[in-house]
Each structure stands twice: as structure tokens, then as C-alpha cells.
Structure 1
């Protein structure tokens, strides 16, 4: 499973989308009365959905809607924001589209998607993974049903853990201590990381912040308020700083994009990454497939022994275009894609289904199982259409790099809070 770094959607995109027009009411979606027939178009992105699942969805849709046809078009993640912006505002809009979870709210806020609040219960209701529900929700209305997810987990070298006589950590304290010991035990290897933590890796900081009760920002009344400088967030950031200072040998001003190269060079004991990271590590082009049997994975433990830390859940949502001529058929397709049959097939492939009751069905390698465990406790970034602009910028990476380089944690967090509040409240 590949959870990509999603393209950011800025305010300009949202403004461009406002020309989409169309109501956000779902009066016709799944309504009673004469059944619709026709041809609808489904856009899914990248290679995350294998063709066998597309074929299953097409057969189920056409069986449930006699006389209707499903046309499938595979898009690429690169440039998808621009393509959706154009397509969703045209007279030739696809009916059902896939949106990255950090992209969704800009389109929801701009009126480009159909309000399917009245269908939420039929699409999974409270059984849906909450963090992906949040990305599909705007201003109290539901627009995007979760499609699939991917949680960050910890990958580790089994042989190095065994050599250092370490067991799988069951708490944050044990995790950090294991990272420190691995670094000490492998000090002969230059720049070795017991826990690989480059300074810009803000996704990896979130579980520690959230597990302490902190947050990035919260809405108080009509305004967003930055919360990185709260005592709870500072406690989480202090743990991150300890990892950077005592367990990591990674560059303090770099990101995690090439972490697998250091892993393959024998410079990493543990690293935090999305489930698809294993495929990157063992790829035959520039990875180290010979290490595959020595690579394990586990869900990041939480502050309380035996718990898991809240994980940021990457993934996708599915939505109906506000310009769809067949909203009832489009909603019928959503029910198939979010249904137990389709989602169980996702689980059989090692992907993460979006229903909590199906997470135990995930099969495959250790990374897939660890993801399923991590997905039981997930969180999401602030639910604002302006969030993508922050993600595209450098506020969070700049804060963490400064902390990694020895700057005061509280001061840097306060600076970040001010920038985040300004961006979210514009």
C-alpha cells in the first residue's frame, strides 16, 4: 500500500472551485422513487486499488443497478488537484472521485461535492474510522466517505534488537530507551540511529503530542487557536527532542524521504513510517531485499504500557461530484465501495479497510498487521479547508528543525502557534 505525500490544496484552489456551483443537497442521492439508470464514471488514483477490486465493484454495481454501467478511469496522484479542479467544475464531471484526505476539505468547502449526510449511516456510520470521517466532513456536513487508510508504524531490525537483548517496546518510555540503547550499542557505525528521526519529520511528532493530550490547533468559538505551546504539547515535543538528541543520528535539517537508504546501509535500528515503507526498503532498484527477513514492524506504543499512541492516518475519501447527473447511482456505488464485501477484499490484500469492525481482518506481512493495530487509535490534522496550505508550507518542519538544532521548545512552539492560527483564520 502506498500512502503518498499528497499535493496541497491552497486557498486559491478553493476559490477556483467556488465556480463549480451546484447545490450541496443530496435530495436525489439514494432517495425513494423511480430508480435511475445510466452510465456513471468513477475516478480512482494511482495504483493503490488493484484491477481485481475495480472489476468486483463494477460487477456488483451493474448487478445492483440493472441497465446501468460503471466506467472506470485511473488517474495519477501527480497533478490530481489541478485535474479535479478543472473536471469537477465542468459539464463533463466524473460522478465519483477519490480525494486524498488532506485534499478533501478544500473541495468540500468550495461546493464541488454533494452533501451525503443523509446517507452517512448507510455508508457505515459510527463504524467508520473516525479520522477519515473528519476529513470527509465540513461545516457539520458529510461529503466524503472513507475509502482506505494507512497508519504509520515502527519498522525495526530484528537482528539488531536481538543483539542488544531488546524486546518489542510496550510504552513510549521503553521505545525511547530502546532507541537510545541501539544507538549506543552501534556507536562504531557513524551517524547510526537507534530511532531514525530527521528534523523535518513532523508526521512522526504528532503521536507524541496527541498521546500527551496536546494538539496542533483547536477551534474556540469562530476562531482557530494554536495549541503546540500548551503544556501537553510541550511534553510531547520534549519527548521528540529526546529522541532527536539521544537516539537519532539523522540529519537535523532533512526530511524522511530517503530514510530507507540509511536503513539499507545498516545505519538504522528503528524508523517510523507508513505501511508502504517496507516496500520501499526492500525494493530491488535501490533498496535491500536481502534484509527482508530481518525487518519487523509494530504499532508505536503509547505513554501507558500496553497502549498504542494515536497515529496520523493517511488515506483517501470518496465523494460524489455536485455536478453528477446520476447522484442516486453514484451513491449506490459509494455503498458498494464502503461495503463489507469490498472492504474485506481490501483487507485480504493487506490494505487498511475503513470500518473498525474489519480491521481485525487485515492479513499479510507484519507491516500490514501493525497498521491495523495502529489504526485502532488514529487522529487527523485540524479540520479546516485552510489546513492544506499549512501542510504545503514549512511551519511545522521549521519548528522541529529549530528544536533539533537546540532552540527552546516552548519558544519555537509559540512561534508556530501564531503562524498556524493566522493561516487557519484567514
Structure 2
């Protein structure tokens, strides 16, 4: 298809990182955000705009909007990728790593400690308040499906692609089935979708060359090709789990909640993590600030593999975020040209509709089937959904209420 005309504008003043504060200052700024940013990726982007556009004036509104558009377009956790790019822009590669660490470590540490509690005190898994965390996961995922469907499936064709992806995922409840569903949705979107032309926008240069972008793209793709072969040939549980976590991080489109079915297909069917423990950790992840991808740190901590404990949590955390970093570095030098292609836009629109379907399938299995045991559980999940969607309560309060309610129901 012909490429849509564009009028790129490059702000040369952004070609080199600004080192006025240094990586340590970047770390402290993002650490405060990592300790206080509740509410999920959309809320995170709002916090970032307040902090870096309005308060600190690290960039203007247009440059920030361009950056958000790029990270929404890429696979991976959008808010974390925006943070990485801001750190890169401010203090180069040390700033990127500092921004990621500051924003990520608070929630990762809490989830690793929660994982130690689940592993050390097995009776905790049957506690009423833990079951409340599993039930609130139903409401949280339902809220994600509700919101994503309204924005990513605005017409009949994309709604049909979402339903097709959900049926495919339910018929093939494996990682391969999820990849197949996304690939089919992207292909059908490219063939049938017609979107309005994108507006030409101003973009900002980052301290990355196109050659480095191509290298980052190769490094992004290499584990997707090599790790499955290595895991099959060696029979190593370590390589198998890291392969599944990397693949999950590389294939997440549409928001952090989509990582749930991908990680579940990696760890639960193989017996590395019990489904009840999986849902309890996912519910706990809703109650803390920071990116949802830190859920991988909990899984690495409780999984039955040689790296169990905090070494496993750290390995899983780095592995799930690595593809997000690499694909961001690969895209930044080519962003203007990439986002103006009509075929890329329709493919991505199809994939985004597909991930709504995958999350819809996950809402049923494992979330609903693992949490809802009777009318009381359904009533609690429905109340939590209403408070989140219509009452607009902060997720941390809804999670706390669900935990207390689960304890009361059990008592």
C-alpha cells in the first residue's frame, strides 16, 4: 500500500542527552514516581506528564505526546518505555537504566517479598483474604477488557477480530495459540481495515543511530528464535521459563494486563506455579504502585525452578523488561517513517483488537474459573467491578476492600 505522506520535523536540540542532572538525579525522580504511581499505565502517563512536562519542563507537550504515541504503538509496557525514553533523553544510557530501576524496583521488591510469604507459609494460599485477591483479579481484568474494547474495537470488524482471537485462544489454550490469534488478527486487519490518514507530527531525535536501531532489532529477535530451540534441546527448566517470560514481554500489545494470559500459559500448564498462587500474586500486584510487568518478579520467586527465591525474581524481572528496552531502542531512530505507513497502522489495529480477545479469553480461564466458587464470590467481583468502572475508586482501595471481604466471607 502506498505510504501516507508526512512532513517530519526533527528537533535537533534533542539529538544529544541532557546531562544537567545525571543518572542519579533521574533515578531519584523516578523512584518517587515508582513509590506513588498507582492506577495502571494510563494513570502512570498522567503522572509523567505532570512531573516532566508541567513541573520539570524536561520536554514540551507535543514531544511528550509523540513519545507516548510511539510507546503505545510498540509491544511492551507503554508507561515503562516512556520512562526509559525520558531517562535516555535526559542522561543517555545510564539515565535510561536509572529511570527503569527507580520506577520498577519498589513494586518488584514488594512482590518478591509477597512471593517469599506464599512460599514460606503455604497455609496462606488458602486464607480468605488471599481468595479475595483472586476475586478482585476478575474485576480488574474485566475492567481492562471493558476499557480496551471501547478504544481498540470501535467498529464491527475489529469487534469480530477480538471475538475470533478469543475463540482461537480458548480452543488452543497455549502460548502458540495466543501467538496464532495475534498474527491472524494482524493479517486480517492489514487486509480489511481502512483507517483515516495519520496526521504528520513533529518528532524528536534521540541519541541513537539507525545502525544501532537495526542492531537492537536483531538483538530483540534473536532470543525469540534461539531460546525455544535451546530449551527444547537442553530440557532445562531455567531456559524454558526464561524463554516463556521473554516471549511474553515481547508479545504484549495493548497494555500490561495482556501479560497475564501470556505468563499464565508459560508457568501454570508446566506446573512451575500453581494457578491459585498465580491469581493471588496477580491480585496483589493490583494493590501496589508501578508497572504491572513486575508481576514477573513474583512468579520468578515462587516458581519451581533452580533459581527460586529472589535470584529467580530478579532474573524474571530483567527478562520480561528486556524486549521492551530493545524494541524501543530499535524503533526510536525510525519512528517517523514507521508510524506513517498505512499498512503498519492497519496491522497494528488488527493486533490490538486481537489482544482484546486474548484478554477476554483469560477473563474466563484462568481468572474466572480460578476465583469464582459461588454466589458470594460473584457478588464480590461484581461489586469490585462497579467500584472500579462506575465509582472510579482507586484500585488500591478496591483491592484492600476485596481482601477484607474475602476474609469476612471465609470467616
Q: Which has the higher contact order (CA 8 A, sep 6+)?
A: 2
Larger radius of gyration: 1
Judging by fraction of residues, say which structure has more strand: 1
Provide TM-score, normalisation by structure 2.
Answer: 0.28
